Amino acid sequence: MDIKAMPVASPDLTHEQQAFREAARDFAQSEIAPFAAHWDAESEFPREAIRKAGELGFCGLYTDERAGGTGLTRLDAAIVFEELAAVDPSTAAFISIHNMATWMLTSHATSAVRDHWGPKLASGQSLASYCLTEPGAGSDAGSLKTRAMKDGDHYVLSGSKAFISGAGATDMLVVMARTGEDGPRGISAFAVPADAQGIGYGRNEEKLGWHSQPTRSVSFDGVRVSADHLLGREGDGFKIAMKGLDGGRLNIAACSLGAAQGALDAARRYMGERRQFGKKLAEFQALQFKLADMATDLVAARQMVHTAARKLDAGSHDATIWCAMAKRFATDAGFAICNDALQIHGGYGYIREYPVERLLRDCRVHQILEGTNEIMRVIVARHLLNTEEELR
């Protein structure tokens, strides 16, 4: 039985959402799957494939239609990201980060900036990176040091960012910089053209996974940005960043679901083909139980991600908590499922002839980015200890 066809996996998706899923699956199989191993091996950024994804609306999934986006829900987006990640978590994750940055820009930019950049970004003709993390400010994002000083009708940016996905290959940077006091309240957000004078890019980091997207440091040396490129108002940056990360965490969680689904499918196929001790691996009860546990954990993680997405779509007051729980649970479960799939493959799982080692490498970082899973636990624990509300 195909686990994707099991009724328990998606009993409450609408016909439209099932159509989104099929469209994303078809695109992934035709435009990504045949090339994913090559992109990984050569560290090649698949800009043309991403542009084609944009033609289907996948680069502006939850960006407002008035800004050039598709205007879908966060649940719709999670469904699409999962299907893309089932064949290539690295490329899917970049598309998800681009979606987050595009939404942040189009939701908070001036009308002139939104009208100029929104359609380009939502269509995939232009791409965006999200610049929050710094060398000395990872999990403690509120202590970032990059500064933006007002100078007439411009801001002048100075500082540096680290581990920026897509940096050097994108066209727009959504940058968090300090315009005021220390702490979160002094942070503002800016839309900065990636080719602005004074911006420098470091080397492409050599990483465990995510080879199809570059990861670089970004430096700002007296970069002048027009004041109308401020997103929201001065001091709104941290709030904008956190709102963006609620959706970003769901996106990465969905990419972990996809990696896990791809690994589960590979393990099931392998168990039906590989023979040991005179019988197929699928006939060994120990492996049957492992496969059953993998499928159960995947379905549980999927339901949590979909519940959190519905909370975010509804504007629920506890959506942030649900997004944190879903991100923690799904990324941990996704990595564990990929690891179990590799174990089922034995030595073959460790070589690049089979896809499970790439899925494992690509989804490992999901437990770190968009807020580490330890920070997700902090968010949930604070809620539980500081409120009488029940999570229902």
Tell me the per-residue pLDDT of 313-360, one tens digit each, with 9 for 90 and over.
999 999 999 999 999 999 999 999 999 999 999 999 999 999 999 999
Residue of 273, 264, 324, 272 lying closest to 299 (CA atoms): 264
Q: Residue 299: which H helix or E strand, with range? A: helix 285-314
Which CA distances in Å does 295 have to 210, 236, 282, 300, 384?
25, 42, 15, 9, 29
Task: Indicate whether 305 pLDDT > 60.
Answer: yes
Sign of torsion over alpha carbons 133, 135, 139, 143: negative
Rounded Cα distance, 79 and 306, in Å: 9
Question: What are the phi and psi torsion angles at 101 (to 5°)?
Answer: -65, -40
Going by pLDDT thresholds of 50, 70 and 90, the confidence category of residue 158 is: very high
Active-site option among 31, 82, 134, 370: 370
Task: Indicate whether 6 pLDDT > 50.
Answer: no
Task: Indicate whether 218 pLDDT > 80.
Answer: yes
Amino acid at 297: D
Judge residue 212's burial from the number of C-beta atoms within 10 Å of its C-beta, 0-12 exposed, 13-18 middle, 19 or more buried.
buried
Res 9: pLDDT = 46
The reply to whether 16 belongs to the active site is: no
Q: Which residues pair with 157 in a beta bridge?
A: 148, 223
> Quick one: angle between helices 89-108 and 47-55, nearest 10?
60
Q: How many of the other CB atoms lie within 10 Å of CB of 43? A: 14
Amino acid at 303: Q
Judge contact between 74 and 313, C-beta under 8 A. Answer: yes
Chain segment 231-270, per-residue pLDDT in tens: 999 999 999 999 999 999 999 999 999 999 999 999 999 9
DSSP letter for each residue of 81-128: HHHHHTT-HHHHHHHHHHHHHHHHHHHHS-HHHHHHHHHHHHTTSS-E
Res 28: pLDDT = 98
Res 391: pLDDT = 75
What structural domains does the chain harbor?
3-122 (1.10.540.10), 128-234 (2.40.110.10), 238-386 (1.20.140.10)
